[in-house]
Amino acid sequence: MDFDFAKGVSEPGSSKIVLLVLDGLGGLPRESDGKTELEAANTPNLDQLAAEGICGLQQPAGWAVTPGSGPAHLGLFGYDAQRFVVGRGVLAALGVGFGLDMADVAARGNFCTVDDAGNVTDRRAGRIPTERGAELCALLQEQVSIDGVEVFIQPVKEYRSLLVLRGEELSGEISTTDPQQTGVPPLEPRALDSAAEKTVGYVKEFISQAREILKDHSPANMLLLRGFAMRPDWPTIEDVYGLRCAAIAAYPMYRGVAQLVGMTPLKTEDSFAAEMTTLSEAWNDHDFFYVHWKRTDSAGEDGDFDKKVALIEEVDKEIPRLRELNPDVIIVTGDHSTPSKMKSHSWHPVPTLLWSPLARRDPVTTFGETACISGGLGPRMPATELLPLAVAHAGRFGKFGA
């Protein structure tokens, strides 16, 4: 739904919406009995929600798109993921929970190896361990000093790090220094528009100091920078629908994406039961709750069908506690599919249920990929329509026209 249109029909209310995201929920059938992870799981409570509500499958970012976590969540939050694009630097900052100011510029830093002539010989510095990456980031943080700008350098994982420049009149319109091949030197950073000239000066100074600091630390004796970006300034969900939104997610990446659309992150622990407790405690303070459960995706990425099944069952057990809160609308879905068979995100549409006393029931009585094909939401719903549909079921949209 168009944001201006939504704003025009939104009405205040006291109803509550819960969006429960089981990361990587969608799967593919196993050989033995043709069941997906969700179909193999024993989920009496999710099945009951499906039976009482309306089901279907949603596409996070279009028919054939395999989305990363950022775009996939933006789709669920009602933002067209192909239009609302977040730079890699910003995603890296969200991933480590770095609190980006609107004026900051963020970039991904990749430690690499260069030879005596300065040519890149390994773009990933032999995939140094995460601990080593952290040590080198600490060294750079301690020694780099640039007049006019504050510099933050934080470890991400292995050879990957985050660079943030904080200052005045900065711009993220800067080209990558990663040559994408070995045997050549790193590229010079270039301003992609004239407003970025000043920032490019800072970046060059940073690279020059980093080269000096790292030179004796082979294989990580240099750094490549890519994905320069600033935090986007988008309308929030509260701006558009008038919903006060909370994010309950144990992982920084998901709290970060939620903050991009104006949600308040709540402190929680890394278990689904703990997230449900956080939800109960915050129930009176918000209208919309995004609850994120990461581990289903991790099990899929590990190719562990049975573990993904068990993790879905863990969620199912907590559904009665969720229902005791008397929400007006519950959505259960994933941000994308992560079939254990593929050990990766995929393009397959994601099973989805919307429960509400005002949902028009459909023939679906169990929550699973095959069953959802016959649901009232259809087999290929655009993810961006889910949040507006929840708002409608929550009685927060007035009539359009007379």
Residues that bind a copy of itself (CB under 8 A): 1-2, 5, 9, 28-29, 34, 36, 56-57, 61-71, 81-82, 85-86, 88, 91-92, 95, 342, 344-349, 358, 360-363, 369-370, 373-381, 385, 388-389, 391-392, 397-402
**Beta bridge partners of residue 246, listed in sequence order:** 264, 289
Q: Which is nearer to a copy of itself, 57 or 250 (CB)?
A: 57
For 314, the token pair is: 């863990």
Nearer to a copy of itself among residue 80 and residue 313 (C-beta) = 80
- Sort 17 into a burial class: Cβ within 10 Å, 0-12 / 13-18 / 19+: buried
Least Å distance between CB 116 and a copy of itself?
33
Q: How far is the CB of 161 from a copy of itself (least distance, A)?
A: 14
Q: Which one, 62 or 167, has the nearer CB to a copy of itself?
A: 62
The distance of closest approach from Cβ of residue 68 to a copy of itself in the complex, given in angstroms and rounded to an integer, is 4
Give whichever of 66 and 121 is closer to a copy of itself, judged by the CB atom.
66
Q: Which residue type occupies 204?
A: K
Q: How far is the CB of 379 from a copy of itself (least distance, A)?
A: 5
Cβ at position 164, least distance to a copy of itself in Å: 17
Q: Closest CB to a copy of itself among 200 and 257? A: 257
DSSP assignment of 261-307 equals TTPEEE---SSHHHHHHHHHHHGGG-SEEEEEE-HHHHHHHTT-HHH
Q: Any bridge partners for residue 266, and if so which?
A: 248
Q: Which is nearer to a copy of itself, 4 or 216 (CB)?
A: 4
Question: 144 vs 377, which CB is nearer to a copy of itself?
Answer: 377
In the complex, the smallest distance separating the C-beta of residue 400 from a copy of itself, rounded to whole angstroms, is 5
Query: Which residues have CB under 8 Å from 260's CB, separation 6+?
Result: 74, 86, 90, 94, 231, 232, 234
- Cross-strand bridge partners of residue 249: 292
| Burial status of residue 153 (CB atoms within 10 A of its CB: 0-12, 13-18, 19 or more) | buried
Token pair, residue 112, equals: 């690499």
Q: Are 300 and 308 in contact (CB under 8 A)?
A: yes
Work out the angle between the directed axes of helices 130-143 and 197-214 (0-180°, nearest 10).
120
Shortest Cβ distance from residue 106 to a copy of itself (Å)? 13
